[in-house]
């Protein structure tokens, strides 16, 4: 079975400090992994994706993530938080199990303090 | 055009009403999706259309009826809804159903059933 675990439901950082949002996955198949951001009352926006090429993936707005197969992790990082980064972040796994299946993590709410 | 457009943005309907949600994309994406999102939860898949044919119905009650008139349009017809159906309804599209493609989401329709 496939699963996604976002290890923190809430993360709070100060503006200008690093951001780390943690995601672990479990899959019997070769996964593609994604991070999406959702601002209040908005749709989700794709930040970045891993699809079996480079393990360090750079995305929009200064975010990046590293796929670590040995740790089954895909943590999202940003060197310096901005107030506009305050939002909900979803880690997503997609696999081909004969059909194509997408699993969303429960989400991590990022708070950014001035 | 790199957007998914959803209308209306807000909808209040009574339990005996019939209404429709609309979704449009002009990116040439051949897979289109309806998701339902309750507050503080990840999106839940409702329906998948691939090449304008319904390919997945996640056991959604028949009071929700999807329609894909052409490759750019997706509708969700609503009838006899219940208050627990109140949620943010998100439309999404992607190039295909294969696992490597990320979603482009619309901003959603905030539905309130009274």
Is A34 at the interface with chain B, CB within 8 A?
yes
> What is the distance between the alpha carbons of residues A81 and A6, in angstroms, rounded to a whole number?
19
pLDDT of residue A41: 85
pLDDT tens for residues A94-112? Answer: 998 877 889 999 999 999 9
* % pLDDT > 70, chain B: 100
Q: Note the maximum CA span of chain B.
A: 41
Distances, alpha carbon B34 to alpha carbons A70, A71, A97, B31, B92, in Å: 34, 33, 21, 11, 7
> What is the distance between the alpha carbons of residues B57 and B66, in angstroms, rounded to a whole number?
9
pLDDT tens for residues B26-56? Answer: 999 999 999 999 999 999 999 999 999 999 8
Sign of the C-alpha dihedral computed for residues A74, A75, A79 and A82 taken in this order: positive
pLDDT of residue A29: 87
Distances, alpha carbon B113 to alpha carbons A31, B43, B91, B110, in Å: 38, 19, 19, 10
> What is the distance between the alpha carbons of residues B47 and A38, in angstroms, rounded to a whole number?
21
CB atoms closer than 10 angstroms to residue A62? 15
> What is the distance between the alpha carbons of residues B45 and B69, in angstroms, rounded to a whole number?
20
In Å, how far is B2's CA from the nearest CA of chain A?
A: 12
Is B34 at the interface with chain A, CB within 8 A?
no
* Chain A environment of B6 (Cβ under 8 Å): 43
| Closest partner CB to A43 (pick from B90, B99, B102) | B90
Contact B99 A95 (CB under 8 A): yes
pLDDT of residue A53: 80
Is B20 at the interface with chain A, CB within 8 A?
no
68-107 in chain A: CB under 8 A from chain B: 90, 94-96, 99-100, 102, 104-107
Contact A41 B88 (CB under 8 A): yes
pLDDT of residue A100: 83
The token duo for B93 is 């599209």
3-state secondary structure of B66: strand
CB atoms closer than 10 angstroms to residue B25? 23
Contact B103 A44 (CB under 8 A): yes
What is the full per-residue pLDDT of chain A (114 aa) written as tens digits?
889 999 999 999 999 999 999 999 999 888 999 999 999 989 999 999 999 888 999 999 999 999 999 999 999 999 999 999 999 999 999 998 877 889 999 999 999 999
The token duo for B73 is 């349009």
pLDDT of residue A52: 81
Pairing of strands A44-50, A100-104: unpaired
pLDDT at B61 over 80: yes
């Amino acid at each position: 079975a496939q699963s996604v675990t976002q290890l923190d439901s809430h993360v709070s950082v100060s503006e200008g400090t690093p951001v780390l949002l943690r995601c672990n996955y479990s899959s019997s198949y070769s996964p593609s992994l994604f991070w999406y951001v959702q601002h209040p009352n908005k749709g989700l926006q794709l930040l970045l994706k891993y699809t079996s090429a480079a393990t360090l993936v750079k995305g929009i707005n200064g975010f990046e993530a590293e796929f670590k197969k040995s740790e089954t992790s895909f943590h999202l990082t940003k060197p310096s938080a901005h107030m506009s980064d305050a939002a909900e972040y979803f880690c997503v796994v997609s696999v081909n199990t004969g059909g194509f299946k997408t699993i969303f993590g429960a989400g991590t709410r990022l708070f950014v303090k001035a | 055009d790199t957007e998914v457009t959803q209308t209306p943005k807000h909808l209040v309907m009574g339990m005996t009403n019939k209404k429709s949600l609309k979704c449009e994309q002009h990116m040439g994406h051949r897979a289109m999706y309806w998701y339902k999102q309750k507050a503080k939860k990840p999106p839940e898949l409702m329906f998948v259309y691939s090449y304008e044919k319904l390919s997945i119905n996640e056991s959604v009650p028949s009071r929700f009826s999807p329609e894909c008139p052409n490759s750019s349009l997706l509708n969700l017809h609503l009838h006899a809804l219940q208050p627990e159906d109140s949620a943010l309804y998100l439309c999404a599209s992607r190039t295909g159903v294969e696992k490597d493609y990320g979603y482009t989401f619309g901003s959603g329709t905030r539905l309130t059933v009274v």
